[in-house]
Homo-oligomer: A and B are copies of this chain.
Amino acid sequence: MAATPRGAGGRSSAQRAATPLTERRADARRNIMAILDAAQSCLARDTDASVADIAKAAGVGRVTLYGHFSTRADLVDAVLTRTVEQADVALDATDTTGDPRQALTRLVGASWQIVHQFRSVLQAAQRELPAERIRAVHDRILRRVQTIVDRGRRVGVFRDDLPERWLVTTVFSLMHAAAEDTAAGRLDAEDAARIISATLLAALAPPVADVPTATP
């Protein structure tokens, strides 16, 4: 008997705990990657692709897949994590110093491609995973945004009259909304980054000493 190759307790994922992926057999590692690749592109196309679909696309037996990801949610989680990590890598190569406004613009530009391309992965995750988990996966990225926003506030180029958290939410919200609009054909993917940035910079700017309707 050999059956399913669960490291030991057969906890979950593949890259957490148990057998650390790096010390697995070469073919296993290859398959895991193939599955992740397939899952990412399948989910990007169809939010609720079945496990069978994904296995087939990965050129792997369904059983093999379950050997690595004990549950569908497990798989989705892994794919989301991976996708976010990819975005995070892209951001590592992005200069987030200097004028916070320009830093934010660069950050948007660097993430937009991935947000746009894999918005369906996010949707799939939203159906499968608890909201807190999704938030947790985004943690590092969230922090990046927060750092920029925070610096901007201290420097005085970003508003200080609204909760910082909300400003971060605003950034995320608009990026994903743009992805939706693009998918629906209401927005051109080319212009998106520019438009998002323009909107965000305005939204985050300190409120001007308003010139009321009258009373000069």
State the A residues within 8 Å of B (CB).
Answer: 99, 127, 131-132, 135, 159, 161-163, 165-166, 169-170, 172-174, 176-178, 180-181, 184, 186-187, 195, 198-200, 202-205, 207-208, 213
Contact = CB atoms under 8 A, between A and B. Distances in A.
A200 B184 CA distance: 23
A205 to B, nearest CB: 6
Given A165-B181, A202-B207, 10 more contacts: A135-B184, A162-B198, A162-B199, A165-B187, A166-B187, A170-B199, A173-B173, A173-B174, A174-B174, A202-B203
A180 B213 CA distance: 33
Nearest to A201: B207
Contact of A184 (B131, B161, B180): B131
A50 to B, nearest CB: 16
Contacts of A208: 208
What 4 A-B pairs come out closest when comparing CB atoms? Answer: A173-B177, A203-B203, A202-B203, A199-B203
Contacts of A172: 177
Instruction: Quickly give the copy total for this chain.
Output: 2
Contacts of A165: 181, 186-187
Nearest to A212: B99
A203 B169 CA distance: 14
A166 B202 contact: no
A181 B159 contact: no
Nearest to A183: B131
Given A170-B177, A181-B169, A163 B202 contact: no
Nearest to A159: B202
11 contacts: A163-B187, A166-B181, A166-B195, A169-B178, A169-B180, A169-B186, A169-B187, A170-B174, A172-B177, A199-B203, A202-B202
Nearest to A198: B162
A51 B216 CA distance: 60
A172 B20 CA distance: 44
Contact of A195 (B131, B162, B174, B195): B162
Contacts of A135: 184
